[in-house]
Amino acid sequence: MGMRLRAGFALAVAIGALNSAVAETGLDAEALQREVLAGSCANCHGTEGRMEGVVPSLAGRSADQLEARLLAFKHEEDSGATIMNRIAKGYTDEELATLADYFSHLPAKEELTP
Applying CB under 8 A, which residues contact other proteins?
2, 5-6, 8-10, 12-14, 16-23, 25-29, 31-37, 39-40, 42-48, 50-51, 53-55, 59, 82-83, 86-91, 105-107, 110-114
Q: Minimum CB separation from other proteins for residue 104, in Å?
A: 11
Burial of 70 (0-12, 13-18, 19+ CB in 10 A): buried
CB closer to other proteins, 65 vs 89: 89
Q: Please list, residue by residue across 3-12, b when 16 or more beta carbons sit within 10 angstroms of its beta carbon and e when fewer do.
A: eeeeeeeeeb
Q: Minimum CB separation from other proteins for residue 8, in Å?
A: 8
CB closer to other proteins, 42 vs 68: 42
Cα separation, 74 vs 37, in Å, equals: 17
Q: Minimum CB separation from other proteins for residue 106, in Å?
A: 6
CB closer to other proteins, 12 vs 68: 12
Q: Minimum CB separation from other proteins for residue 18, in Å?
A: 6
